[in-house]
Copies of this chain bind each other. A is one copy, B any other.
Amino acid sequence: MPLYLIEELAHDFTQAFDLSNLHRALQRASRCMGFDHFALNFDLHRHGASPDGVLLHDYPDAWAQVYVAFDLAGRDPVRRACDKSLTGFAWRDLPRLIPMTKGDRQMLAIGREVGLADGYTIGRHLPGESSGSCSFVMRAERSLPQGMLMVAELIGAIALAAARRLTVGPTTPPQVQFTDRQRECVLWAARGKTAYETSIILGISEETVIQHLKMARERSALHSRHELTTFALLCGFIGYQDIFPWWWRAGRRSG
């Protein structure tokens, strides 16, 4: 596929002015690239925002029904792997990205039964704003079009950008910001320290630590410390390396 054809496909996406346009563009693009199905989901990281995010796909009905009925989204290994790869990935490479449980393998097997054999998924994340993924899928007995994966990479990103444009609109959503002290307290909380321990570490009163965490929760409209630490990670206020340094020192690099 020459580049100009990609640009032509891309044009469909940049011109899409609603979700049904986007759906059609995805369908056309996936066929052009030699895929059988597509799926795109896109979520904003803020409450009170436009209803429920975006979910577009042309998967077999059987699969869609099972997926929704059993809340399979929560255990979908493909979506989990999006957090672990900067580039797109083939589903057969999932075990290299994340630990697969018995349930995960079972889920992929059911997918194959209804006609979703292998797929290529492109994930994107904007800290503090949104995340999404776009998959192009082959039906049973067909393998991925190797020569098209880079094209899929481009088209997937363009489709996600279109989904974002249609969801977010022209105005960028307001970002939650923490003060330095709040971030510090959240960091120590994520490290598993109690408010009392944190107060010793920072040299302030326990009540003050509680207060900072309280303010941080209010700002992000969250009600528990678990959500707060997770939210801070998602926004990039703190990082895994701050919390589990041993993971990089002993667990991976040297090993």
Contact = CB atoms under 8 A, between A and B. Distances in A.
Interface stretch (A25-33, A57-65, A111-119, A218-226): A218-226
A234 B127 contact: yes
Copies of this protein in the complex: 2
Contacts of A45: 233, 236, 238-242, 244, 248
Contacts of A214: none
Nearest to A235: B99
Interface stretch (A16-24, A135-143, A176-184, A204-212): A176-184
A87 interface: yes
A242 B73 contact: yes
Interface residues of A, number: 106
Contact of A223 (B74, B87, B224, B253): B253
Given A191-B227, A192-B223, A241 B82 contact: yes
Interface of A: 1-3, 6-7, 10, 41, 43-49, 52-53, 73-76, 79-87, 95-99, 101-103, 124-133, 147, 150-151, 153-154, 157-158, 160-161, 164, 168-174, 176-180, 183-184, 187, 189-192, 221-227, 229-231, 233-245, 247-249, 251-254
